[in-house]
Structure 1
């Protein structure tokens, strides 16, 4: 077999974008599309395969639609089969390189990881504080915050700048403490469903919790009930969302191969 790195007089104009690793018996749908609307196929090696599509090498990656296409394909696959996601932007020279330098070189590692993921997918539980509710809660619990609120009320902004800053700091610190407590409660509510949990860093100042879990797809109903119970308990205080099934980004993302 010719080397994928053979030199030619003509510059290379296309490469192979790699999304993730799946069992070799996974079949791609005919209308499956990936980055740059590329048609998705598989490159196989023994019992494992890579999800790939052709891509122009002079086309820069990183647009929102590129990231969405990458995630959409992997998340869709996770609904029907275990998938090891590669980091966004993995491009190799050709399909021979995918088979030899990626699949063959890591065959045992990939096969073992896929076996561990069999029947499982990632879900993300998100909670966002209701602004008015959490502010009222902080003021009710903190005497100094209540006094500052009274000082600010009906006063010009310029005249109460220091009080507003002091109140803002109290609220911010209180939310951090509440987030820690509420995140711990989310984790506790999910421990009976999984021992694979990743607490994510907050992405918004009013975030109450963001927790990724690896759960058997067959237990999704139980997961929905657990999150629903929290949503009911925190009704009007925290808006809860459950995302998934998703590819297991928080647990088994594979580094980009050297293409």
Structure 2
């Protein structure tokens, strides 16, 4: 299976959305990638199946197709556990896809069991850039540098002040993010760190039981409101469980290309 990037995909192949348990109902009215989107079908030699469609003649990472891919995964998750594939995953043909599914069957089943009844919530902690007054009041170094800059303004003084402000904002966001992680982790079955995001002090995904989704979000939003002078806490979800299936669906489990996290996002 090949993972295509944002360029054009041309030629034969099956566009793969996800791996599910055999018999999982497919959405009756669903979009999917391409314009118009090709019909969905399930391909599988046993207890697991891949949800696929024909690959469009031209496939680009346009907003419409990215959202369609994500929406289809969300619809599938309403019917059972899903191992989501990243946008642009293409199998060369049905025989190759069936062979990969058979070789990775044990890993897929274990991963499906792991995420069954769960969703992914992603939390990012960013500096609260609109809280300069609170920062000055609470940080002696920033306060001292600001007073020095007022007394003797100049380029170097402004640079030092700017660097101190940026450092203090990032530090406060990191501290608040770690407190949020301690508060939220007990409500999750597992956590997974996401990729580094420029300007982001913390990027963590949580594997949360579907029944606990509202409680998790409410707790995160209360924390965000109580610490808004320290951190801009951004909460995304429910999402397909991108961050918690790699161990069961990676290349070691029979050649399947691993899904890419989005926490992400």
TM interval, short-chain normalised: 0.7 to 0.9
Residue 149 (1) aligns with residue 146 (2) = yes
1:79–1:245 contact (8 Å) kept in structure 2: no
CA RMSD of aligned residues (A): 2.7
1:186–1:209 contact (8 Å) kept in structure 2: no
CA-to-partner distance for each residue in 1:5-35, whole Å, 9 max, x for gaps?
A: xxxxxxx932101111111121112222222
Instruction: State the Cα distance separating 1:82 from its structure 2 match.
Output: 0.9
Q: TM-score, normalised by structure 1?
A: 0.80
Residue 22 of structure 1 is matched in structure 2 by: 20
Instruction: State the Cα distance separating 1:98 from its structure 2 match.
Output: 1.6
Residue 4 of structure 1 is matched in structure 2 by: none
Distance of 2:64 and 2:11 partners within structure 1? 22
Q: Secondary structure at the match of 1:191?
A: helix
Q: 1:48 to 1:153 in 2, by over 3 A?
A: same
Distance of 1:241 and 1:144 partners within structure 2? 28
Residue correspondences, number: 240
Q: Secondary structure at the match of 2:130?
A: helix
Q: 1:201 to 1:182 in 2, by over 3 A?
A: farther
Residue 87 (1) aligns with residue 81 (2) = no
Residue 251 (1) aligns with residue 244 (2) = yes
Instruction: State the Cα distance separating 1:239 from its structure 2 match.
Output: 4.2
Q: How does 1:132-211 map to 2 (within 5 A)?
A: 132-133=130-131, 135-152=132-149, 160-201=154-195, 203-205=197-199, 207=200, 209-211=202-204
Residue 222 (1) aligns with residue 215 (2) = yes
Instruction: State the Cα distance separating 1:160 from its structure 2 match.
Output: 2.5
Q: 1:243 to 1:130 in 2, by over 3 A?
A: same
Q: TM-score, normalised by structure 2?
A: 0.78
Q: Can you give the 5+ residue segments of structure 1 that lack an aligned partner in the other structure?
A: 1-11
Q: Can you give the 5+ residue segments of structure 2 that lack an aligned partner in the other structure?
A: 1-9, 258-265
Choose 142-151 or 19-28, whichever is displaced more.
Answer: 142-151
Instruction: State the Cα distance separating 1:215 from its structure 2 match.
Output: 0.8
Residue 234 (1) aligns with residue 232 (2) = no
1:122–1:245 contact (8 Å) kept in structure 2: yes
Residue 3 of structure 1 is matched in structure 2 by: none
Residue 105 of structure 1 is matched in structure 2 by: 103
Bigger Rg, structure 1 or 2: 1
Q: Secondary structure at the match of 2:88?
A: coil
Distance of 1:138 and 1:201 partners within structure 2? 28
Distance of 1:177 and 1:238 partners within structure 2? 10
Instruction: State the Cα distance separating 1:255 from its structure 2 match.
Output: 4.7
Q: Secondary structure at the match of 2:187?
A: coil
Distance of 2:207 and 2:13 partners within structure 1? 33
CA-to-partner distance for each residue in 1:169-194, whole Å, 9 max, x for gaps?
A: 11222233223311211111112212
